[in-house]
Structure 1
Amino acid sequence: MTTHNLLIELFVEELPPKVLQKLGDAFSNVLFEQLKAQGLTAANSAVTAFASPRRLAAHITDVSELGADKAVQQKLMPTTVGLDANGNATPALLKKLQALGAGPEAVAQLKRAPDGKAEALFYDSIVKGASLAEGLQKALNEAISKLPIPKVMSYQLETDCGIDNFLPGWTSVNFVRPAHSLVALHGSMVVPVKALGLVAGNSTQGHRFEARVSPLVLANADVYADTLAQDGAVIASFTERRAEIARQLNAAAVKAGGGEDSRSQGGLRPIEDAALLDEVTALVERPNVLVCEFEKQFLDVPQECLILTMKANQKYFPLLDDEGKLTHKFLVVSNITPDDPSAVIGGNERVVRPRLADAKFFFDQDRKKTLASRVQGLSKVVYHNKLGTQGERTDRVRAIAKGIAALLPEAKDAKFLQAVDTAAQLAKTDLLTDMVGEFPELQGIMGGYYARHDGLGEDVAQAIEDHYKPRFAGDALPRNTVGVVVALADKLETLVGMFGIGNLPTGDKDPFALRRHALGVIRMLVETDLPVGLDELLLRAFEDAQWGAAIQATKAVGHAASTVYLNYEAATPLASFIYDRISGGLREQGYSAQEVEAVLALRPQRLSDVAKRLTAVRAFVVLPESPALAAANKRIGNILKKAGEVDAHVNTALFKEDAEQALYAVMLKLLPESEAQFNAGDYTSSLQTLATLRSPVDAFFDDVMVNAEEMDLRLNRQGLLKCLHLAMNRVADLSCLAS
């Protein structure tokens, strides 16, 4: 069967840049999968996606003109319905066969086979393979309908058919952007398909201003990328265009820094931002990187402000020196390549200047007021209608931060406590500054700069800047203990408040980022090894914060008391929520469900201990004694559960069996050793010491009746098992390891 390569292109107006790559990949992948499902591709067929600001295209190799015929078996109906008592076809069966294009003679060819509890009739037929025109039309319709379009627009498309073929007609079309042409080439032949009111052809358009030929006629499917590049001044591949921009950015940075030797001397480099590079790639068809400058006086403004305005508003690439500091030069990715680029450079320099001037103005104005003078203004900013204002929230964060600080060894230092309180009080004040009002992404960062300007000290400034950290997976933690305390207090206030009013995440919806806050709390407790238990932290967050003030404030503005009651019983589900986040993270790291369950079943309070406990469990699991001890532990737990309240006490005078005496003797020897290892943090050795108990434990269950008829014997043996159970489950709940 003849095969050729296939090209499909939709030529449209400028597509949304932030989703261009997704649109291109989705368009090509759905096309390929649909053609494959219809048997129009070969085993070695491959698809190449193209996406530029004004086109979505796909090149698919080895596509057949006609799909292979398929053998199809179709269930018709139960045998009792299709055949009468004499085995003759019923009218219902004949009607069904007629609908399938078969006559009464097909009855003899039907197969009878079990279908659940009954028997059914099945009809075997051959379905002719789809033609390329039919299959591609179906695939194209499917690819367009499944595009991840953020927002559809409706537009009118002029057609050449109207009343009496004289008046023009109009067709309403819904698509992400108005489409102007459709290309469908199988080899050099046009495939007669339609889409969005367009009929397929073999011509497209190149660059708006720099194409050598217009329109571009494609000789065959394989010359698409080359024709666009040579005659259309367009790099059609998103990936190739992105790589070319990255190459030009690095080359321009080297040149701007003083030439090829500048790298070894500490040259310039463009800021690394994959999202910005993707967006710029989606904005240009023929990239041309140019070096621009702004006045050095603007470098007095914090570089985060300048970088943000250049990236977010203008899509420029700031240039940094070898120390990561912003320079007065930046790179522009232009979509045109004039012989004299001075006009383009000058235009971009004029455009960026007012942006930088605004940033400088905001910075200068903000520094005229101290952060402390802005605290009162937080009472006018609503945080949540059930939890009061940012001012009330700040009071709660301060209270929680003080409570956490009091648990730390640094609590003996009055300066530390004062720094924590100051940072917690001022952490949100930069929300009222002009700079953060213009650039919300700079909250915290600007607070750090203004704190330094106010002379509050580096610890306080860093804590204010870092109190939102970690903001995402892989983000850095606060740089000092003051910052860790304030960041914990800030996240715990959010978690406690939202859990307290029942505002919990559901499914994939988490509008207040409670999962992210919980993961931030976990990371800080684990990576900084704070000597604080999780339950103690939550207790501080619930009891130290003045939640009553929030309740009174919401009552004052008309909310019913029942809607603002802070449920202090939410501490338990909040703790479970945090442990669930820990469990999910550990499983992603490769720990088994049994290992994670065994450790977290004990709800370890020092989260930094979890990793060491898991290491100990893994070492224990491979021991030959492990299965038997885990099973025995589970058995002991069941016995004690049925017994109810059991006192961990042993009276040796009540021992009657050699096995219980032997077990107790081994426990007297091993348990103190295991406990000492546990207290020293050597969890692996502690569990391995307990492994020696296997033989006496097995002998105990073989020879001793725990639930003896004599009550004193029963209670004594239960007490012995209680002592053993407590010792065995210090590191992890070993019963979770039983198969």
Structure 2
Amino acid sequence: MNASNLLVELFVEELPPKALQKLGDAFASVIFDQLKAQGLLASTESRLTAYASPRRLAVHVTEVLAQAEDKAISQKLMPVAVALDAEGKPTAALLKKLAALGADESAVAGLKRQGEGKAEALFYESTAKGVMLTDGVQKSLDEALAKLPIPKVMRYQLQDGWSSVHFVRPAHGLVVLHGTEVLIGVKALGLTAGSATHGHRFEATVDPVVIQNADSYAEQLRSEGAVIASFTERRTDIAVQLKAAAERIGGGVRAIEDEALLDEVTALVERPNVLTCEYEKEFLDVPQECLILTMKANQKYFPLLSADGKLTHQFLVVSNISPQDASAVTGGNERVVRPRLADAKFFFDQDRKKTLASRVEQLDKVVYHNKLGTQGERIARVRDIAKTIAQQLGNPELGRQADQAAMLAKTDLVTDMVGEFPELQGIMGRYYALNDGLDVAVADAIEDHYKPRFAGDELPRNDVGVVVALADKLETLVGMFGIGNLPTGDRDPFALRRHALGVIRMLVEKDLPLELETLLVSTLPAFGDKVQEATSQLVEFIYDRLANMFREQGYSAQEIEAVLALRPQRLSDVQKRLEAVRAFAALPEAPALAAANKRVSNILKKAEGDVLNHVNESLLLEAAEKNLHAALTCISPIAKKQFDLGDYTSSLKTLAALRSSIDEFFSKVLVNSEDEKIKNNRLAILYEVNKTMNRVAMLENLN
């Protein structure tokens, strides 16, 4: 059958930039998948190429058939006993069924029989005509438009003045080409397919751009329309131009790296042109985070950093036009950015006129949560928790500094700068604390108490920051769990998962000698009667996050389950235990010991009454039980000493020596002796085995 490449383009008004790449990929993939499902792809090697620019969504698909191949269809009609009477003639039910399929009585002779006895049935075999490309593209396009992940739909009126449609932006053109042929019958959003599109608003050499064939689309748009249709190609071009522009300045200057900003700018321009601009150096007196944020967020500029990471007074603009004299473009952008930078400077100057300490009372007017009170009340709780943590760490001076940092940690929320740029909370608090002459450790802690803010983020840089960050996150977790405000599958408005992971990372990576449940219980008094006790629920939540974290690090589900089944309270020990379990699992004795450990556990679970926790040597009758008791007496103290020293790997390796004694015990000793005293004594031996083997991890989970 005739196969050619296919092009589908929807020309629209400017699409939302943050959603453009996702829209383009979805549009292309759904059309491709639908064509494939309808049998319209001539080869398994057919490929799609997605295009997305500010004013178009398009897809190019190779090896597309003009018509899908016919398909043989076998349809079950009904049991033979129902379809034919005693004389073998068709019943009314069969004739009615055939009529519904467009056949008559003459088709009865050609019906196939399958099955035996009562299961024998009649089947009608026919050939379904392959779908025509126009119909297939229509269905594919309809499906693609219906499934587009549109952030917000708008309703607009069509040119007839009566009809209206719903779409992300008004559509003004539809191109559908199969090779050089226009599939005129395809329609969408009130548009009929053609071959004409539009290029750049100002720099296209031809308008409209008439696409000659499906394969010339990208090149014609580039040469005639001054548009780079491919999102990926445009993004790469911008990245190359940014690097080149920075290198022309010299001195190791580089553009700030921001993948999200690069994506957004790519979605704003059709033919990028990177230009260098600058502003007055006096603005560099303002913290660079403020200037960078306002340039990136408000203007979509790329600030330039020096070789040592300091902000320079120059920045890069990605323009959508390429005039011979770019001075008007650069001058315009420089005029636009100055008021933004001036605002930042004004906020910074005004905020420094008041100390952070003088702003503490304002937090009493800021609502935190209707069940948990104001930010002022919250800060009081964080201070109490921070002091408790410092006490557990045995450092009074740390407690004093942590208390001061906790008291001031949220005060920058009521400053003008953070009011304008909420993303700077904590960062501005540090600058204002230094301006107030506070200790550097306290100032750093004010910024760092939000850390880690996301997966992979750095931890607080000093102990004061760690204590306040822990206190802040524990206050949120205990408070929210205490009022029943728990995260659901798709909702976590207070970022409790992120807070739990932050607590875990600090306890683990800072190797803090703090026990989890003790930490959570000691947090409760700070809330008074505002919350219910929910420690057990929160503990399970934290261990779930801990398990996820170690799964992502490559530990197996068995290894994690074995360690976390014991609910180790020192989270900083968990990784060492996991490494020990992994080393143990590699030993030749490991499978047998894991299986034996599971058997021991099952026997003890079924034992009636309390199992003795000591062995009576006078009741040891069999050589095998004497040998096991002797081995335990010899090996257990060594393994325990290694365990107490934190050498978990050596402890488990030491226990591997018990294998032969345990195997001999189970092969030669009947645990459930008729003599109750002997049975209980043997259970006591197994209790010792279970206690000795499961200090580091529940080894039965490795079975």
TM-score clears 0.5: yes
Alignment of 1:361-510 (within 5 A): 361-409=346-394, 411=395, 414-510=396-492
The 3 A distance-change label for structure 1 pair 81 and 420 is farther
* 2:469 aligned counterpart, secondary structure: helix
**In 1, distance between residues paired with 2:195 and 2:511?**
66
Which residue type is aligned with residue 668 of structure 2? D
Question: For each residue in 1:634-659, what CA deviation from the matched residue of structure 2 results, as whole angstroms up to 9, or x when unmatched?
Answer: 12212222334323211212212211
* 1:492 aligned counterpart, secondary structure: helix
What does residue 162 of structure 2 align with?
170
Query: How far does residue 113 in structure 1 lie from its aligned partner after superposition?
Result: 4.5
The answer to whether structure 1 residue 602 and structure 2 residue 566 are counterparts is yes
What does residue 8 of structure 1 align with?
8
The answer to whether structure 1 residue 589 and structure 2 residue 553 are counterparts is yes
Question: Which has the larger displacement, 204-213 or 636-645?
Answer: 636-645
**In 2, distance between residues paired with 1:64 and 1:711?**
83
* 1:11 aligned counterpart, secondary structure: strand
What does residue 297 of structure 2 align with?
312
**In 2, distance between residues paired with 1:371 and 1:35?**
63
The answer to whether structure 1 residue 668 and structure 2 residue 633 are counterparts is yes
What does residue 567 of structure 1 align with?
532
**In 2, distance between residues paired with 1:88 and 1:611?**
78
Question: For each residue in 1:266-291, what CA deviation from the matched residue of structure 2 results, as whole angstroms up to 9, or x when unmatched?
Answer: 42111100000000010011111111
**In 2, distance between residues paired with 1:546 and 1:140?**
57
* 2:159 aligned counterpart, secondary structure: strand
* 2:499 aligned counterpart, secondary structure: helix
Determine if contact 2:452/2:460 at 8 Å carries over to the other structure: yes
**In 2, distance between residues paired with 1:243 and 1:359?**
32
**In 1, distance between residues paired with 2:111 and 2:321?**
68
What does residue 709 of structure 1 align with?
674
**In 2, distance between residues paired with 1:538 and 1:196?**
58
Alignment of 1:509-548 (within 5 A): 509-543=491-525, 545-548=526-529
The answer to whether structure 1 residue 721 and structure 2 residue 686 are counterparts is yes
**In 1, distance between residues paired with 2:115 and 2:326?**
78
- The number of aligned residues is 700
* 1:125 aligned counterpart, secondary structure: strand
What does residue 123 of structure 2 align with?
122
Query: How far does residue 707 in structure 1 lie from its aligned partner after superposition?
Result: 2.9
The answer to whether structure 1 residue 356 and structure 2 residue 356 are counterparts is no
Query: How far does residue 714 in structure 1 lie from its aligned partner after superposition?
Result: 2.6
Alignment of 1:173-184 (within 5 A): 173-184=165-176
* 2:163 aligned counterpart, secondary structure: strand
Determine if contact 1:293/1:328 at 8 Å carries over to the other structure: yes
Question: Which has the larger displacement, 239-248 or 698-707?
Answer: 698-707
TM-score (norm 1): 0.92
**In 2, distance between residues paired with 1:588 and 1:539?**
29
Determine if contact 1:83/1:89 at 8 Å carries over to the other structure: yes
What does residue 266 of structure 2 align with?
281
* 1:482 aligned counterpart, secondary structure: helix
Query: How far does residue 121 in structure 1 lie from its aligned partner after superposition?
Result: 4.1
What does residue 74 of structure 2 align with?
73
Question: Which has the larger displacement, 341-350 or 13-22?
Answer: 341-350
**In 2, distance between residues paired with 1:588 and 1:221?**
44
The answer to whether structure 1 residue 137 and structure 2 residue 144 are counterparts is no
The 3 A distance-change label for structure 1 pair 308 and 715 is same
What does residue 254 of structure 2 align with?
269
The 3 A distance-change label for structure 1 pair 701 and 2 is same
**In 2, distance between residues paired with 1:541 and 1:685?**
36
What does residue 165 of structure 1 align with?
none
Determine if contact 1:399/1:546 at 8 Å carries over to the other structure: no
Which residue type is aligned with residue 316 of structure 2? L
What does residue 164 of structure 1 align with?
none
**In 2, distance between residues paired with 1:282 and 1:666?**
71
Determine if contact 1:216/1:231 at 8 Å carries over to the other structure: yes
* 1:173 aligned counterpart, secondary structure: strand
The answer to whether structure 1 residue 239 and structure 2 residue 232 are counterparts is yes
Question: For each residue in 1:433-478, what CA deviation from the matched residue of structure 2 results, as whole angstroms up to 9, or x when unmatched?
Answer: 1111111111111111111111111111111101111111111111
**In 2, distance between residues paired with 1:108 and 1:510?**
65
The answer to whether structure 1 residue 677 and structure 2 residue 669 are counterparts is no
**In 2, distance between residues paired with 1:84 and 1:140?**
49
Query: How far does residue 633 in structure 1 lie from its aligned partner after superposition?
Result: 1.2
Determine if contact 2:445/2:468 at 8 Å carries over to the other structure: yes
Question: For each residue in 1:75-129, what CA deviation from the matched residue of structure 2 results, as whole angstroms up to 9, or x when unmatched?
Answer: 33455544455554332332222122222233344445569x9565433221111
Structure 1 stretches lacking a partner, 5+ long: 160-168, 552-565
Identity of aligned residues (%): 69
Alignment of 1:22-33 (within 5 A): 22-33=22-33
**In 2, distance between residues paired with 1:10 and 1:188?**
18
The answer to whether structure 1 residue 103 and structure 2 residue 68 are counterparts is no
Determine if contact 1:396/1:547 at 8 Å carries over to the other structure: no
**In 1, distance between residues paired with 2:82 and 2:442?**
84
Question: For each residue in 1:665-718, what CA deviation from the matched residue of structure 2 results, as whole angstroms up to 9, or x when unmatched?
Answer: 111111111112212222122112111111111221222232333333233222
* 1:731 aligned counterpart, secondary structure: coil
**In 2, distance between residues paired with 1:301 and 1:93?**
87
The answer to whether structure 1 residue 197 and structure 2 residue 196 are counterparts is no
Determine if contact 2:446/2:465 at 8 Å carries over to the other structure: yes
The answer to whether structure 1 residue 219 and structure 2 residue 212 are counterparts is yes
Query: How far does residue 12 in structure 1 lie from its aligned partner after superposition?
Result: 0.6
Determine if contact 1:319/1:327 at 8 Å carries over to the other structure: yes
**In 2, distance between residues paired with 1:447 and 1:86?**
96
The 3 A distance-change label for structure 1 pair 87 and 693 is farther
Which residue type is aligned with residue 458 of structure 2? A
Question: For each residue in 1:568-590, what CA deviation from the matched residue of structure 2 results, as whole angstroms up to 9, or x when unmatched?
Answer: 1x100110011111112222333
Determine if contact 2:386/2:399 at 8 Å carries over to the other structure: no
**In 2, distance between residues paired with 1:611 and 1:114?**
61
* 1:329 aligned counterpart, secondary structure: strand
Determine if contact 1:650/1:719 at 8 Å carries over to the other structure: yes
The 3 A distance-change label for structure 1 pair 158 and 386 is same
Alignment of 1:137-156 (within 5 A): 137-156=138-157
Query: How far does residue 378 in structure 1 lie from its aligned partner after superposition?
Result: 0.9
What does residue 18 of structure 2 align with?
18
The answer to whether structure 1 residue 620 and structure 2 residue 589 are counterparts is no
Query: How far does residue 391 in structure 1 lie from its aligned partner after superposition?
Result: 0.8
Which residue type is aligned with residue 125 of structure 2? D
The 3 A distance-change label for structure 1 pair 89 and 470 is farther
Query: How far does residue 615 in structure 1 lie from its aligned partner after superposition?
Result: 1.6
Query: How far does residue 191 in structure 1 lie from its aligned partner after superposition?
Result: 0.8
Determine if contact 2:304/2:315 at 8 Å carries over to the other structure: yes
Query: How far does residue 360 in structure 1 lie from its aligned partner after superposition?
Result: 0.7
Determine if contact 1:673/1:689 at 8 Å carries over to the other structure: yes
Which residue type is aligned with residue 210 of structure 2? V
Question: For each residue in 1:385-412, what CA deviation from the matched residue of structure 2 results, as whole angstroms up to 9, or x when unmatched?
Answer: 1111111111111111111111115x1x
Determine if contact 1:595/1:737 at 8 Å carries over to the other structure: yes
Determine if contact 2:479/2:527 at 8 Å carries over to the other structure: no
**In 2, distance between residues paired with 1:415 and 1:400?**
15
* 1:9 aligned counterpart, secondary structure: strand
Question: Which has the larger displacement, 79-88 or 464-473?
Answer: 79-88
Query: How far does residue 219 in structure 1 lie from its aligned partner after superposition?
Result: 1.2
**In 1, distance between residues paired with 2:62 and 2:382?**
61
What does residue 188 of structure 1 align with?
180
| Partner residue of 2:598 out of 613, 634, 640 | 634
* 1:76 aligned counterpart, secondary structure: strand
**In 2, distance between residues paired with 1:81 and 1:396?**
79
